[in-house]
Structure 1
Amino acid sequence: MATGAEQVSAGATEKLTRSARGLRTRMHQTWRKVGPWRLAITFLFLALALFIARYSWERVPIAADIERMLYDVRSTSMAPRVAQDDRIVMVVFNDQTLIETGRRSPLDRVTLAKALAKLDTLGAKGIGIDILIDQATPEDQQLVDAFKALRTPTYLAFVSAETNPDFVEYGQEEFLRAFQQSIAGGAVKPASVLFESDLTDNVIRSWPNQPTSLPALLSNALTPVHPEFRQYIGAIRFRYPADPERPVFAKLPIQLFTGDFPAEALRDQIAGRYVLIGGDIFDVDQFETPATRVQGGTTIGLEVHAHMLAQLLDGAMFKAVSPSMLWAAAILVVLAGALTAMLDVRPWLLGLILLAQIAIILLIPYWAQARDVDTQYLPVFGWVAGWFIAFAAVGTAARAVGSEQRRFAQSALGKYLPRDVANLIMRDPDRLALHGEKREIYALFTDLEGFTKLSHAIAPEMVAFLLNRYLDMLSETVLRHGGTIDKFVGDAVVAFWGAPISRVDDPDRAVEAAIAMYEAGEAFRRSAPDGVPPIGCTRVGLHFGEAIVGNFGGEGRIQYTALGDSMNAAARLESANKQLKTTVLVSETVAKRSTFSHFRPMGRVAVRGRSTPFAVYEPVPHLPEADVTRLTALVERFDNGDKTALEELESYASDHPEDAAIANLVYRLHEVGPGGSFVLD
């Protein structure tokens, strides 16, 4: 006899099962009955939702500003609250220093020289100077003498006109180099003080890119404990005081080290610490950080260096979020919004589910930030917006179910199948039964180079117009050559020959179609409307092999498609065009079966998912037959170990500098050697 707990568990399981079954049924009915135009609009909005959920930080105006604001609030609220850091002390020129010295720019060199001489006696671990010595003064020799006398490892600020053209001229850089050369050989070395603020709002959030043309960044130069920070460009870990009365870093005025104040009284403040010297002057060297954006005010550049040095000393390197994770998150939130719209539950329960999902989306970045993940580029606002767009788009389509019926007849079949195949299916409807069979097919994949990037640069209406026109041209080409259109994946066309009926000349039809699809893509490029940025070429991959072909998808919504290794191989060949500098690639299995004679060999390649490398060929109908024969013979000779063949290939490539594919072939043959295979990415 079942216990009460077992009965409750069984009841909960049954409810979950009924809910899942109901969701599947509702999805099935929705996509079965919604009209094609509404379906297209729904998918367009889903694509928009996905775009915003992935790129709102980078490419969506206004949303990008919101994302940065959310990050600033998040990083400030989750930042460590710490006691004063006893490893670093700042010694600053301040406005009182300027009053006392009567100098504003350049800063008084005598004051700096006196301070350095006294600091050198107090046992500092290292000294970093964020002051540019970029112009001459009468007191320069006194400062040079002070630098040469130093025994403490010291690093003097350096920037270049190339990396910081807005603030440094070439004349200043030349003086910097000459001055640092004059003190070379002692304890003083140059260090970069370059910062990189966000171009959108001029806020410093990340470590700068550290080009090899510059010396090490000041923080990296002062200590070698974590050399991996030499390549780090992630978020700066700003820390904030646990006690508002005691800042994170002690700040001493430089006047303490230039007058009659006894040096020994300052030893406890300096000994064993890193000393950073720089300015704390009103309206000079002031920066915005996430905290100042939230709380107001600015931060001096010297304090930013102090935070970076403390972060380096702690080895606190934030973990970056990979692009694949960002894509996965974007897809997940859009999918969650779409599926939530399909739920058939009470309004109050739907409201709770909605609030729970939005709360999770908003809390995940805080959870990640607390675990030292760099959440700078998490598109949190984009996730929420994408979720709502997907929810609204699918919900609108779902509410329209019942008012429209999906038509599936000969006219629809004719858009995907050649006319004779469509007529055959219409005469024998049993061919639409859900089943699959193993067939040998010629599988073809295409891709339009750069169309995704192009779609971000033009209006959505123009994207839809261009994409529909392009797919019409390629679809007509497939059907004209007797092929079956499997599917469209964005701008990609998937097609095959050999099913549901096969013909003796299928290999020639497939090869001719592949060439014609590339040429149709070129015609599409040339006929683009005015104002549309340049469109890339169409790349095609063609492979012969076994596949499972048939109708799949369920009784209410079926698709005649092919599954298997041959489809994957064709897709790999299509993507290989980019690496091999070709436009149409066919496998050896296709070249051997076709009567087409103008195939030139493109070497042997190894692709993911296939254990055995195979030869690939490029159909070149416009290349003289003599050239095709010559290239085929040379590649064969090289594979048989004749090194002179490679020299002849190099000569051919030199005579045809416009032929990037041949140049690439020569490069690959050099790399892999006779009989070798090139591993594709």
Structure 2
Amino acid sequence: MSHFLRRALPLGLLLAALLWLAGGAVDRAWYDGASRLLRSHGAAEAPVALIGFDEVSEQAFPEPMALWHRHLGAAMEGLARAEPRAVGLDLSLPMRSFDTVAPGGDAALVRGILRLRRTCPLVLGLTVDGAGRPRPIHGPFQAAAGEGGTAFVLWEVDPDATVRRFTEHVGGSAEALPTLAGTLARALGRPVREGWLDYRGAAPVPYVPFHQVVAWQREGNAAALQAAFHGKVVLLGSVFPFVDRHRQAVDLNGWGEETGRFAPGVLLHVQALRNLLGRGPLREVPSGLGALLAGGCLGLGWVLGGRPRAGSLGLLAALGLGALGILVLQARGWFLGLSWPAGGLVAGFAARAGEEALSRLRERRRLRAVFGGYVSPAILSEILDGRLEPGLRGERRALCVLFSDIRGFTTLSEGLEPEAVIALLNRYFQRMAEAIHAHGGTLDKFIGDGIMAFFGAPAAQENPCESAFRCARAMLASLGELNAELAAEGRAPLRIGIGLHFGEAAVGHVGGASRHEYTAIGDVVNTASRVEGLTKEAGFPLLVTEPVRARLGEAAGFTPLGEQPLKGRAPMAVFGWPER
């Protein structure tokens, strides 16, 4: 547990904080998708009928919509004949009278309001002005509606301009504002509970055009009015294309309009009423339980992150199962944001995987620091990357083998103290090793004042001979720099010979289980050593065999020396460098 707290908590909390910042967007996106998915599941909700103010109704009446008081009064009288369960007006009536323009309109509307009120609860919509203050409606209309007969048609809008929740604390206000849906529900004796709009079983909502309702009333067609509205909650609102539109998680329009989710706002009131008159909005899982779940997922993610490759599959499985569980939860009326479990899983997994990666990096650095001077970088990289087989069996590889030796070093060192000999050798070997490693070679061993290296293993090279030849030239150039330093110190220069041969060799670990080394064995190694020995008499610092020269091209600048006898094997064509 202390290891978990010390290692997981700092990284986990950092990632959890980052996920929390984006969690709102994640939860909103999840809610939208889940709501659309669950729309076809669940029992049908309370019937709510819609009367729409549309473009056809606008053309049916000669007056502008602000002067429709007579028609609105007629529609209310018609609704009174239909005996609905309740009626709500998602429209803010004017602040003053227009009787000077349309005489008798105010009285007609007041009569309609009073008559409908005697039949069922009626709620008129209110809105606010630009400063956020309640915008009053004309006094007679307010008086006719009576106490509790008005309510606000406002919605809480999320940061992405989408409405997803029913609340009467709009804008986070401490004081609840009576809403149209909430006031109608209370008038019908239903409790009002806030929450995420529940779209389970939400059927598309058709509408009856406003002018049709007025026509039925004026024709005395009580049967049509009863068939359309009897016993239902009725809402009147705008369905104009560019008026009172809100971005919604689910578009409930039942008249085939392509809204792009910018649907008439009255549909939000419809769904809120369906919820309040039925099973209520979605309940949000308490934050304490969400935090507890996130903590458990953090621990699971930490366990999975211990093996990132295999654990990543487990992480995906856990995320999938978690999403399915949250979907089932929403299907049962509870909403839990996906960011809680997903954030915990991802944070825990990333924290553990990050900790493991840092531990491996620290271990690699430690191993490089400890063993970097004992094995070649190529071998150490293969070991650290897990590509070098640990067993004692070898494999056949095509190599270019390099041998080098200092000419007359025994005589040169006779007049030096042992410490001075070692210091000189170390200066020489340092430069030679750097050249070998810079060209991708593997420094096999130091043999007294000699060096054995090979190219083409453990990491394969496109042209091992080219790499070895470039390395040999670099070694000679570096020796020139060292000799300049020795001359400045008043000391004799060093001369070396280098031999290269190409062929197949067995490479791998040689030794016992408790002590072994990675080396190359085969005739190509012995031949390269013999070729290097020829440099003592050939007069060239670098000799290569025909297999090497053939892989270097014609521009290498070699001098053919013909077939040279090699101890213990047949003569072989040898070439000297540089060209003379």
- TM-score, structure 1 normalization: 0.45
Q: Secondary structure at the match of 2:12?
A: helix
Contact 1:92/1:253 (8 A) holds in 2 = yes
Give the alignment partner of residue 227 of structure 2, picking from 249, 254, 268: 268
Q: Does 1:48 align with 2:14?
A: yes
1:203 aligns with 2:162: yes
Match of 1:221 in 2: 183
Aligned to 2:124: 157
With over 3 angstroms needed to count, the CA separation of the structure-2 counterparts of 1:122 and 1:300, relative to structure 1, is same
Equivalent residues of 1:125, 1:271 under 8 A apart: yes
1:324 paired to 2:283: no
Q: Is this contact kept in 2: 1:365–1:380, CA < 8 A?
A: no
Unaligned runs of 5+ in 2: 100-104, 253-257, 367-580
Report how far residue 215 of structure 1 moved. Answer: 6.2
Q: Work out the CA distance in 1 between the residues paired with 2:24 and 2:229.
A: 43
Summarize the alignment of residues 113-152 of structure 1 with structure 2, pairs less than 5 Å apart: 113-136=73-96, 137-138=98-99, 139-150=105-116, 151-152=118-119
Tell me the distance in 2 between the aligned counterparts of 1:296 and 1:258: 31
The 5 Å alignment of 1:336-375 reads: 336-343=300-307, 347=309, 349-375=310-336
- Return the alpha-carbon distance in structure 2 between the equivalents of residues 358 and 48 of structure 1: 20
Question: Residues 52 and 383 of structure 1 are in contact (CA less than 8 Å); yes or no, is this contact kept in structure 2?
Answer: no
Cα drift, residue 203 of structure 1: 0.6
Show the counterpart of 1:464. none
- In the alignment, the residues of structure 2 paired with residue 64 and residue 85 of structure 1 have an alpha-carbon distance, to the nearest angstrom, of 28
1:299 aligned to which of 263, 269, 290? 263
**Identical amino acids, percent of aligned pairs:** 19
Q: Find out whether 1:70 has 2:30 as its counterpart.
A: yes
Offset at residue 333 of structure 1 (A): 2.4
Spell out the pairing of 1:549-628 with structure 2 (5 A cutoff). none
1: distance between equivalents of 2:284 and 2:24? 19
Evaluate the alpha carbon distance shift between residue 337 and residue 75 of structure 1 in structure 2; reply closer, same or farther with a 3 A threshold: same
Higher strand share: 2
The answer on 1:91 being equivalent to 2:55 is: no
Alpha-carbon distance in 2 for matches of 1:384, 1:295: 37
After superposition, residues 239-638 of structure 1 pair within 5 angstroms as: 239=200, 248-259=204-215, 260-261=218-219, 262-292=221-251, 296-343=260-307, 347=309, 349-376=310-337, 378-379=339-340, 382-383=343-344, 385-400=346-361, 402=363
Determine if contact 1:127/1:153 at 8 Å carries over to the other structure: yes
Task: Count the aligned residue pairs.
Answer: 348
Once the two structures are TM-superposed, the CA of residue 223 in structure 1 deviates from its matched residue by 3.6
Kept in 1, the 8 Å contact 2:301–2:349? The answer is yes
Instruction: Report the aligned-residue RMSD.
Output: 3.6
Equivalent runs, 1:28-43 vs 2, <5 Å: 43=9
How big is the shift at 1:251? Answer: 1.4
Name the SS for the 1:121 alignment partner. Answer: helix
| Residue type of the alignment partner of 1:325 | L
Deviation, 1:373, is 0.8
Partner amino acid for 2:225?
L
The change in CA–CA distance for 1:180 and 1:168 in structure 2 (over 3 A counts) is farther
> Residue 195 of structure 2 aligns with which residue?
234
Give the match for residue 175 of structure 1: 137
Letter in 2 for 1:301: G
Aligned to 2:61: 101
Name the SS for the 1:334 alignment partner. helix
Relative to structure 1, the CA distance from residue 254 to residue 395 in structure 2 (aligned partners, 3 Å threshold; closer, same or farther) is: same
Specify the alignment match of 1:582 in structure 2: none
Q: Counterpart amino acid of 1:129?
A: L
Q: Residue 82 of structure 2 contacts residue 230 of structure 2 at CA under 8 Å; is this kept in 1?
A: yes
> Contact 2:125 / 2:150 at 8 angstroms: preserved in 1?
yes
Secondary structure at the aligned position of 2:124 is classed as strand
Per-residue deviation at 1:89? 0.9
**Cα deviation 1:415-455 (Å, max 9, x = unaligned):** xxxxxxxxxxxxxxxxxxxxxxxxxxxxxxxxxxxxxxxxx
Structure 1 counterpart of 2:198, one-letter code: R
Q: Give TM-score, length-normalised by structure 2.
A: 0.53
Deviates more, 1:256-265 or 1:283-292: 256-265
Give the Å deviation of 1:157.
Answer: 2.8
1:184 CA displacement: 5.0
Distance change >3 Å, CA 104–CA 385, structure 1 → 2: farther
Rate the CA distance shift 1:343–1:253 in 2: closer, same or farther, 3 A: same
Q: Give me the whole-angstrom Cα distance separating, in 1, the residues matched to 2:107 and 2:190.
A: 37
| Bigger Rg, structure 1 or 2 | 2
The answer to whether the Cα contact below 8 Å between 1:50 and 1:334 also exists between their aligned partners in 2 is no
Distance 1:74 1:84, change over 3 A: closer
